[in-house]
Structure 1
Amino acid sequence: MSRTRQLAEAAAAIDFESLGDAEIEAVRRLLLDHIGVAAAGSMTDSAAAFRRTIARFAHDERASLPVIGASTAAAAVPASMANAVAGHSIEYDDVHNSSSSHPGVVMFPAAMAATALAGGDERDLVRAVVIGFEVMCRAGRAADPASHYARHFHPTGTIGSLGAAAAAAAALGLDAGGLNSAIGIAATMASGSMEFLSDGAWTKRLHPALAARNGVEAGLLAADGYVGTADGIGGERGFLAAYSEAAVPDRLLEGWGERPLEVVDTSIKRHTCCRYNQGAIDALLAIRAAHGVAADDVDSVVIGIPSVAVDIVAEPAATKRRPASVVDAQFSLAFGAAAALLWGRAGLAEYDESRLDDPAVLALMDRVGYEVDPEIDRDFPQKWRAWARVKTRSGDTHYRWVDDPKGDPGNPFTDAECREKFDDLASAVYSSEARSAITEHALSIGAPGSWKALVDSLA
């Protein structure tokens, strides 16, 4: 039996009744977080442009979903794509450390579209999400994120297609053979380039939408009898062989039944920027709070990062210190550090075009450097540790090490913090009454009637 088939068999055996409180609560929190991020992201230019495009698509009333932030609905797949673009447009969506990916922004849109197409219910949705997370995150871990990045692939787009196919196949009611075939089809569709780092293009924001669409289409093809490869992930010419120089296929099933399901091991972001900046910003905020460091008293800042982060957030240094767009700023370690020290936060208000040429920001970014820390590399990607060292002009040196950035499984958001983040993000799109309803239904997903109630509340 191929490795992909073994993974498909294991994933297909997951049923709603087997899920514990931890798994269901994780799905609920991540669902609410996804909706909140998508609501705020729906106000970006990239999300608006995508909505203009889907307006050209045919609208099938038999299977439609709300387009978050647009007060309208669209056919299930185009709507899910629009929500995925919105959910990835402000760099605030969830993260799975050991696969270096954003699973929720792919899995919720894909599973919601497939559930709508199949006429399924909330139990089908939750099961599909959990199965999709398992396949996506395990494939990403097997691909070895550093090696996958070395080929200039964006994991959310590539492994997202695999997970979305599994989620869609599950929602469509396929058995392990159908799920395996769907993954095999999606493995030949997987894509996503890191070239956006060169010019701040919107292409990264499109990756989860394409992955969700690929997955749903792969699931539908498999449901209609289209035959996918038998070992789409682990085959001699399969996904791992093509997309990574240092793949570890055994990780596909490593620890199955012994470790928490991947949905439980997924982080919620505290700051609206690249995941590689999160720990560093936490460290600098802690130094600022503990020592009252004023930005104009900073002589130098050094951040400890993993080697894989260098050409994503730190180099070329001259470019990273002069971001020309919000996308550039989201992937600039120097900008994130300056935001933390200057304003005491790194949220939507800070990642704004008007802030990019602030003289105080420019001056502080020039004083931000980095070091690749072998100790951080040793535990990456299971842990995304970071540290910050700030030397002041008055002669003091302050240091802070961060083991678990806020929102990671080792330092999770509370329910109250999840609600607060959602309310803050969604307030510009939904009324107080609507936000209360969305929160109630998202945080009870899986309970009878919760799927229809959630869809109605998003309309």
Structure 2
Amino acid sequence: MTGLSHEVAAWAHQAWSGGCPAGVEAAARSHLIDTVAVAIAGAGDPATRSTAAAVNSSDDPLERALILGTAGHALDYDNAQAPSLVHPGCVAVPAMLAAGARRDLPIDRIVRAVAVAEEISLWLGEGAVRDRDSSLFERGLHPTAVCGPIGAATGVALLTGLDVHRTAHAIGAAASMSGGILEGNRTGGQIKPMHAGFAARAGVFAAGLAAAGATAAPTALEGRFGFARAFLDGAELRVADLPVDQRPWRVTTVTTKPYPVNGFIHSAVDAAIELRRQGFALEPGARLTVGVAEPVLRTIAEPRADKARPATAYAARFSGPVVVALALRGGTGLGVGLNDFPASLPGDTGLLDAAARVEFQADPRCTAAFPAAVSAVAQAVGADGRSYGAVVDHALGSPRRPLTADQQWRKFDDCVTPALGPAAAGALWDSLAGTGPRARCADVVTEVLRAVAARPRHPGPAGLTRACTPADRRIS
């Protein structure tokens, strides 16, 4: 087999066997930890429960990838990257965990495969960027769902020992499984979180097809009716743009979210936290205007009526006015946390009245910086007539403002401890981070599936039950 799929497969095998730079593997391990945390937190979400109820058996690696991927994206708390707008972790990590569990692999074995899978997905997603915006997003296509299957298929092919030839066929097969529309971001429904599950499952399935001898078009990526023309406006995809030698890896440019809300709102949350520090409150008579990049308004501020009064707690995570009002009221976690989105949130009249005093508008400076940076400019006038202001050029958790080790642990603790209890949560962190007894993929998959089943708190699987304190959390 020749063509771009073969070239990408050859690059992946070289990266897999030749070793990734230490910083790349560290980033991939961090993404693994974060994705496991948000999947456990998202295990009880209605989208995850609907997905789990629809499958025949959670013992099937395909269905495990589907459930884990949906759980990882259910709360919109998973990592993301600009300018591609791809969420890499919620697809790559579940696919590698599901494939790794079937082969009884240790967690350490899948870290490099996660890095390769994410890198390919991000490379494809950046191929859709036009005039600083994603053409996929502009057409209503979910970049994660479009690009994720191909990266995941490549990573699973590496884990399962496929040669370059078969890996290329897995890539080609996955290209026929790409898709997913974004209307749920605007008007609700459970399907959008499932896109990550569909993509993770597609990656595992495509690799399985290739292992079974199925073949794909050799020009599935670059051909006249191939992936690039169908999804990327005919962009020229070049394997030379994948990292070699000292070329930086895209996986090191991924944002780890500090807040369980749509990533376009994060800089506005940072601005709101700063305004609250200054003493501003959204009291009757106060008003707040938040300037953001013009392309993000349709996701976080439009339709105005839906964003002002979201119908569900999930829809509230995509409402700029509601999330900013939460941050100004004083949220949990790192400023806005999981406990701030109960099912009763749409009935919180005090919060909704405050959100009605928040106006989002396009800001030229933010638009010019987008999507390389998601920024915000906030201007407020208090009920007493006093003026306030805040400018956020780079959101917390982005590459320019990465989370500290303490902040990473606080997010993990917030996600995992309610399900596992403090001792098991600490032990799971240490096992994933490489600073304690090493877990196996099956252990981690079991934890997420137990959380989906909503059983009472338990001590965790064997090897993950030693007593731990939250102090000095590290990632090796």
Fold conserved between structures, TM > 0.5: yes
Quote how far apart the aligned CAs of 1:4 are.
Answer: 3.9
SS, match of residue 14 in structure 1: helix
Assess if the C-alpha contact under 8 Å between 1:132 and 1:167 holds in 2: yes
> Structure 1 pair 198/20, CA: closer, same or farther in 2 (3 Å)?
closer
Q: Contact 1:272/1:351 (CA < 8 Å) preserved in 2?
A: no
- Residue in structure 2 matched with residue 187 of structure 1 by the alignment: 175
Identical residues among aligned pairs (%): 29
- What whole-Å deviation, never above 9, does each CA across 1:25-55 have from its counterpart, x for those lacking one? 212222121111111111222222322233x
Residues 209/274 of structure 1: CA separation in 2 closer, same or farther (3 Å cut): same
SS of structure 2 residue aligned to 1:296: coil
Q: TM-score with structure 1 length normalisation?
A: 0.89
Aligned match for 2:319, one of 332, 343, 363: 332
SS at match of 1:136: helix
Residue number in structure 2 paired with 1:30: 31
Q: Which consecutive residues of structure 2, in runs of 5 or more, have no partner in the other structure?
A: 448-460, 462-476
Shift of 1:371: 2.3
The question of 1:53 aligning with 2:60 is answered: no
Choose which of 371, 379, 395 in structure 2 pairs with 1:389: 379
Query: CA–CA distance in 1 between the matches of 2:126 and 2:52?
Result: 33
| C-alpha displacement of 1:81 | 1.8
Q: Is the contact made by 2:186 and 2:302 (CA closer than 8 Å) also made in structure 1?
A: no
TM-score under structure 2 length normalisation = 0.86
Which of 253, 264, 274 matches 1:276? Answer: 264
Which has the larger displacement, 78-87 or 369-378?
Answer: 369-378
| Contact 2:65/2:204 (8 A) holds in 1 | no
- In 2 relative to 1, CA 386–254 (structure 1 residues): closer, same or farther, beyond 3 Å? farther
Distance 2:441 2:97 in 1: 11
Deviations 1:135-170 (A, max 9, x none): 101101102253101221111111111111111111
- What's the Cα RMSD here? 2.4
Cα separation, 2, equivalents of 1:457 and 1:310:
39
Aligned length: 440
Change over 3 Å in CA distance of 1:106–1:305 after alignment to 2? same
Contact 2:16-2:116 within 8 A present in 1 as well: no
CA spacing shift, 1:103–1:79, aligned 2, 3 Å: same
Residues 127, 170 of structure 1: 8 Å contact kept? no
Q: 1:360 to 1:380 in 2, by over 3 A?
A: same
Given that residues 431 and 438 in structure 2 are in contact (C-alpha distance below 8 angstroms), is that contact kept between their aligned partners in structure 1? no
- Contact persistence 2:98–2:445 (CA under 8 A): no
CA 1:13–1:298: 2 relative to 1, 3 Å: farther
CA distance in 2, matches of 1:456, 1:80: 9
| Pair 1:105-2:95 in alignment | no
Quickly say closer, same or farther: Cα 1:200–1:383, change in 2 above 3 A: same
Amino acid of the structure 2 residue aligned with 1:154:
H
- Partner secondary structure for residue 340 of structure 2: coil
Q: Residue deviations 1:309-328, cap 9 Å, x none?
A: 12111111122111011222
Q: 1:75 aligns with which of 47, 60, 63?
A: 60
- Does 2:125 match 1:140? yes
**Residue 429 (structure 2) pairs with residue 439 (structure 1):** yes
- Residue 198 of structure 1 deviates from its aligned partner by 5.1
The residue identity in structure 2 corresponding to 1:313 is I
1:194-229: per-residue Cα shift (whole Å, max 9, x none)? 122454110011111110111111111112221112
C-alpha separation in 1, matches of 2:256 and 2:72: 13
- Given that 1:141 and 1:252 are in contact with CA atoms closer than 8 Å, whether structure 2 keeps it comes out as no
Deviation of 1:16 after TM superposition, in Å, equals: 5.9
CA distance in 2, matches of 1:252, 1:363: 52
Give ranges in structure 1 of 5+ residues lacking alignment: 60-73
Deviation at 1:119, TM superposition (A): 4.9
Q: Residues 29 and 418 of structure 1 are in contact (CA less than 8 Å); yes or no, is this contact kept in structure 2?
A: no
What secondary structure sits across from 1:99 in the alignment? Answer: coil
Where in structure 2 are the equivalents of 1:304-383 lying within 5 Å? 304-344=291-331, 345-383=335-373
